[in-house]
Structure formats: C-alpha cells, structure tokens
Amino acid sequence: MCRLDRLSRFHAFQGLDPDLRAALLAQIRDLWTHGSTAIEGNTLTLGETKFVIEEGLTISGKPLKDHQEVMGHARAIELIYAWLDEDLTTERLFELHRVVQTQVTPDIFKPFGAWKREPNGTYAVTSDGRQTFIEYAAPEHVPALMADWLDKLKRLASGTLSESEAIDAYAHLHLGFVHIHPFWDGNGRLARLLSNVPVLRAGHLPVVIEVRDRKRYIDTLAEYQLTLGPLTPTTGVWPRADLEADFRAFCRAAYAATRALVEQAQAYQAKRGSR
C-alpha cells in the first residue's frame, strides 16, 4: 500500500479518518486490478484478487499466470501513485510494461519493455454482424505517435480539472493509446493505468472499468477504431474529436463504481460522527 500522505491530494479523502482512507484506497486498488485483468481474461474473482494481493498466496485451481497478472497490476498502480509528481517519460512507460507484462516470452519480436516490432491488430464484429479486422499503428510509426501521446498526457496532467473534465481527459488518452497499440501485449492494462494520471493529479480517484461492462467497452472502442482506420504521423493520434463522444459517455457512466466506494466510506465516517 502506498503512503497515504503522498495521496492527501485526493478530494475524496477529506473528512475521512486514516483507516477509512486506507480501506478506500485498497478497495479502489482491488477493483481497478480485478476489472482491468478480468477484461483481458483473468479468471480470479474480486475476492480472490484481494486475497492474492494482500496475502501473497495462490488460489487452488487457478492458473499461476492469473496470480502474476494481478500482482503485476497492483505493483503498477503503486508506480503510478509514486510518479504523480514526477515526469512520465518513455523509459517509465517501458518500466510499467515490464511490471504489467508478467509473462515473459523469449522472442525478439515480442520485446519486454520496448515498443512493438511487428504489426498487430485484432478481429471485431461490427454492429451489423460483419467480421472485420482492426489494424493498429505500424511499428515504424509508434515512436512519433507515442511522443505526441505523452506530450498530450503531460499537458492534461498539468492543469486543474473538474471531475467531468478529468474523466474526459481519461477517455481521450485511453482512445489514443489503444488505437496506437504500442506494445505487442499489455496495451489495455497500460491504457487503463496511464490514462488515469491526469485524473489522479487533479485530485480525483481513478476511473475504473468493471468487467461487467466488458462488452460495451470493447464494442465502443472497436467502433471508434474501425471508423478511423490505422493511425500514422500524418493522421495524428486523435484525427476526429467528434468520434470520441460515445467513449466519453461510457467512461462517465463507469465512474459510478468509484463514486459508490467513496460514498460508502463517507457513510461509515458519518456513522462515527453521530456516535
């Protein structure tokens, strides 16, 4: 667990006793980790995720890789918090990739903590039932596109953002990152971590996407990516701001999970105050 004094910037912590702050932060960590890993196919439940992170023990019958993914994601959250007042560089993105990508593949075309070296993409099914292919940015375009992405993150993270503005910043950065898809694997988890930097720096708790929203999440991203086609330095990272509305709406709705945990902590604090 990261030091609470480092995170005193969070508006949600105001008026909460230290133990309730610690509990809220742990709940956010567990929900964030569970949702982000389960979206990618991790089989651990929320309760099992909490147990693995807190006890460091394995769950009988569950794959070792699932335990490693959960521990790696929890560690990545700690790094995000630790770097809130520091510059996010390419090297730090590579470090996060090494932490999140716990399954190391001995393959020069699947680098560990470096940009992808081969083209990548995924299949999707459109709203009218057609199978199609989503092509991400070509490897040779990744350094320039990610330099632009990092510049935008730094600009968004340097301002004072309301809750709504912070969620929109998250959605904007998330769309750009996953459309570039700069790594051979781990892109979704990294997008859901890194896009929260402006949110956290502005004093808000993170946007957390729950696994129950997985299909809408994937479908909304796919529709956006299919409409735009692959990114290049000529198109830029965000060619059409008008296409971001659906994903922004999705992220605003998803933030209800974070608010619910904050409200629960505030309710416990209110009970203490009434005694």
pLDDT at 204 over 80: yes
Distances (CA, A) of 86 to 76, 81, 83, 148, 230: 15, 10, 5, 18, 32
More confident residue, 146 or 128: 146
pLDDT score, position 126: 80
Other Cβ atoms closer than 10 A to 4: 13
pLDDT at 3 over 70: no
pLDDT score, position 61: 94
Host H or E run for residue 20: helix 18-39
Residue-wise pLDDT tens digits, 236-268: 999 999 999 999 999 999 999 999 999 999 999
Long-range contacts of 154-163 (CB under 8 A, 24+ apart): 154/87, 154/88, 156/198, 157/88, 157/197, 157/198, 157/201, 157/202, 158/201, 159/198, 159/202, 160/202, 161/198, 161/199, 161/202, 161/204, 162/202, 163/204, 163/255
Of 160, 172, 204, nearest to 28 by C-alpha is 204
Residue at token pair 């994937």: 218
Among the ranges given (28-37, 119-128, 159-168, 170-179), the one the predictor scored with the smallest mean pLDDT? 119-128
Distances (CA, A) of 193 to 19, 36, 160, 218, 255: 25, 9, 20, 17, 14
